[in-house]
Structures are given as structure tokens and as C-alpha cells.
Amino acid sequence: MQPFIIGLKYIYTIYTALVFVILLLITFPFFMMLALFGDKSLLPMLWLCRFIALGLMFFCGIVYRFHRNPAYTRNTPFVIIANHRSNMDAPVAAISCKGRVRYLAKKELLKVPVMGQIFKVMSVYVDRSSSQDRRASVEKLKRYLNEGDSIFLFPEGTRNKTDQPTIDFKDGAFTIAVQTQTPIMPMIYVGSDGIMPNKRPLLRPGIIDIYQLDPIPVAGLTDADIPALKQSVRALIEETFLKFSSH
């Protein structure tokens, strides 16, 4: 029975990969056309990303189950963070965020031929080359947030491939939140690593639960408060993840 099940997983993985490629081919011309309009095309590009995520749900049986928080509204900018346990978290991040969102990315992605133009519209990065570049990056983030855009990033900085609820959080999300005085919106993704595990990336259909927690205010906090803020938010995310993943 075990080889039969593994065989089915291989077939499903190939099928899902083909669906994903077809969705990319369908949307790619629209991404490229919209990239010509710069920041004005952010929202339509986000709709295309959500279209791809919904396509995976309808054609591949990957269901997103929302546990919404009324405090999370599309008109309020947040620094949005989420745990990161699987490559499947990428479409989840697209479908779980409302309104205008920019995703924190590595600066190197902006240099990728063709795709770099798309990343320039949808992504932000913090240039750490010098103190002057860092200040300029923070000012740019402030401008986006003041214009109503939220910023999304995974505070762990990479996928968690361990059996622990999270791995060490980086300072980035909390530094951005404190220096721009923007509340943090924590989200918990439960089930994505069951659909696409890290150790053997064979896919299977299933449900991904998306929990939107209460926003965390940072008004009045300074850089000196970042370590304690980071520790308390990580503890909250770990506790909540363990609570819901055991159901």
C-alpha cells in the first residue's frame, strides 16, 4: 500500500506543478504589461497573484480556510508577519493579505532579468550597504505605509525545516514596525507543511488554516524595545501555532 500511496503523490505533484505552470503562463503577459505602469499597477498585480492561489485551490484541492479578525482591514497599513514552514506559504501569503501589500524581498531579486520589473512593483527591500542607504530604505517604507500599503515578511527569514514551531526571528519586521510606528499583524499558517513537506516535497491536497491574530501596537516604542518585542511576538506565534496545530 505504501508504494501505491507514494505513486499517487508523485502523480498529484506532477499534476499540481503543471497547473501552476499553466497559471503562470496565463498570467505572465498581464504581469509584464502591468509592470510598465510602475506603482500604479500594484493592486492588479496582487489580484493576479491571488488568481494563481485560487487556481491551486479550485484545480488541485488546496483549500484556504480563513479565521478572520475584524481588526484586520484593507484600509489600515500593517507590518504583516507569518510563520514559514513550507514553500506552499508563498501562495498562502498572496491569498491571506487584503488590499495593497508589498512583500519584503532580497535586493538580488530586483536584478533578475524580466522578473525584476515585476518584483520592483510588488516588493520592497532594505538596503544595508551603508547607514545612508538604510535610512533611505526606511524612509521609502514609511512613504509606502503612509500611502496605505502594508508590508509583509516572514520574520524567520527562511523556511523552518525543524520540528520546532518556529526558528529564531530576525530583527527586520520589528525594526520596520518600530521605526515607522506601524502596528504588527501576526498571522499563523497551519497545514502548509503537510501539503508540501520540506523533507520530501511530494504534494497532497488538503486544508491550510489561516489565523489572523489581534494587531500588536508599537506606538511609543523605540529601537531599545525591539528585542523584547521580538521575543514576545515569537512566544505568541509559537503558543498559537501549537494550540491550533494540535486540533
pLDDT score at 127: 65
Q: Name the residue with cell 504534494.
A: 203
pLDDT score at 119: 78
With 0.75 as the threshold, say if the pTM is over it: yes
170 φ/ψ sector (left φ>0, alpha ψ -120 to 50, else beta) = beta
pLDDT-derived band at 114 (thresholds 50, 70, 90) equals low
Q: How far apart are CA 108 and CA 90, in angstroms?
A: 18
Query: What kind of architecture, by CATH, is found in domain 2-245?
Result: 3-Layer(aba) Sandwich (3.40)
- C-alpha pair distances (Å), 115 with each of 11, 82, 95, 97, 112: 29, 24, 20, 22, 6
User: At residue 180, what is the residue type?
Assistant: T
Q: How far apart are CA 77 and CA 206, in angstroms?
A: 31
pLDDT-derived band at 233 (thresholds 50, 70, 90) equals very high
> pLDDT tens for residues 25-47?
999 999 999 998 988 999 999 99
Per the structure block, which three cell numbers stand in for 32?
509584464
Is the confidence at residue 80, as pLDDT, over 70?
Answer: yes
pLDDT-derived band at 242 (thresholds 50, 70, 90) equals very high
Q: Name the residue with cell 501576526.
A: 186
> pLDDT tens for residues 179-217?
889 999 999 999 999 999 988 778 999 999 999 999 999
pLDDT-derived band at 160 (thresholds 50, 70, 90) equals very high
pLDDT-derived band at 238 (thresholds 50, 70, 90) equals very high
- 3-state SS, 30-97, equals HHHHHHCCHHHHHHHHHHHHHHHHHHHHHHHCEEEEEECCCCCCCCCCCEEEECCCCCCHHHHHHHHC
Is the confidence at residue 223, as pLDDT, over 70?
Answer: yes
Helix and strand tally (H, E) in the chain? 8, 7
Is the confidence at residue 128, as pLDDT, over 80?
Answer: no
Q: Quick one: average pLDDT of 130-134?
A: 68
Decide which of 94 and 139 is more confident.
94
Is the confidence at residue 155, as pLDDT, over 60?
Answer: yes
